[in-house]
Structure 1
Amino acid sequence: MPAPRSLIAAGLIATGAALFAFQSLALADDAPAKPSRVPPAEVVGQPVSCINIAQIRGSQVRDNQTIDFMMAGGKVYRNELPQQCGNLGFDRSFTYSTSLTQLCNVDIITVLQNVGGGLQRGASCGLGQFTPVKLIKQPKRR
């Protein structure tokens, strides 16, 4: 007895999806690794749970999981988020809200996406510990 067309079509779709998934895995292995945008840093102290908001002079989003907070007096705290935060590394901007005078590892940041010239809220992600670091200067590439 011949198989119904819907079963044949479903089998072809499933086979095509599997081949597509395996092809993307194979291509990922062949692709050269992207250079990291996270500059190397030397840890210069113990991680802390919170930093004082009034002392933050700026922040640099390095990738989907790393933010460097530049503080008054030249101190830098690196925050490694416990999970990847969707589009954080692409949009490179975020917002947060806290009723305290500190930003802590229990706080949530929200990615700000530039959509049509305006800002739109994106993924929300938890922060990690704040590790004091000294950024290591890299020689300029030519």
Structure 2
Amino acid sequence: MRALVAVAALALLTTGGSVQAKKDRNAVPPATPSGKAVSCVTLNQIRETRVHGDKVIDFHMTGGRVYRNELPYSCSSLGFEERFSYKTSLNQLCSTDIITVLRTPPSIPGPSCGLGQFQPVDIARK
């Protein structure tokens, strides 16, 4: 009986930890605007994206610049999945483009959502 209680307690702790870790990962890091917002960024300059919840994506560019895109509306499950796709015929991703959340498995398309302006920011260091 003690072993069963210990296993149940461990399961609760593990579950709580993973939920907390997901919540922390979706927290939007503080940032300071570092210039005028732009409508588009060049695709081949995007090094990495970091999703923060259902409404904020940071685009880390080659050279170290970061553009924060705050979606005009919440994009359901974006913060949970932290993955998205887009289609564009240009070499740019623009505020007029639509992203589609990729659900797992196996990369089933989820909701599609519009982007906002790309605001250059300086992310606060921890």
- TM tier, shorter chain? 0.7 to 0.9
Residue number in structure 2 paired with 1:123? 111
SS of residue in 2 equivalent to 1:74: coil
- 1:62 counterpart (52, 64, 75): 52
Residue number in structure 1 paired with 2:8? none
Aligned partner letter, 1:124 = S
| Gapped regions of structure 2 (runs ≥ 5) | 1-22
2 CA distance for matches of 1:63 and 1:134? 19
Q: Does the alignment pair 1:84 with 2:74?
A: yes
Task: For 1:1-142, list aligned pairs within 5 A.
Answer: 37-115=27-105, 118-138=106-126
| Gapped regions of structure 1 (runs ≥ 5) | 1-33
Aligned partner letter, 2:51 = V
SS of residue in 1 equivalent to 2:35: coil
SS of residue in 1 equivalent to 2:63: helix
1 CA distance for matches of 2:116 and 2:49? 15
Question: TM-score under structure 2 normalisation?
Answer: 0.79
Q: CA deviation at 1:119?
A: 1.1
SS of residue in 2 equivalent to 1:47: coil
Name which structure has the greater RCO, CA cutoff 8 Å, separation 6+: 2
Q: Percent identity?
A: 52
Greater gyration radius: 1
Question: TM-score under structure 1 normalisation?
Answer: 0.70
1 CA distance for matches of 2:31 and 2:99? 23
What stretches of structure 1 move > 6 A for 4+ residues in a row?
none
- Cα RMSD (Å) of the superposition? 1.2
Q: CA deviation at 1:48?
A: 0.2
1:55-77, Cα deviation, whole Å (9 max, x unpaired): 00010001100000000100000
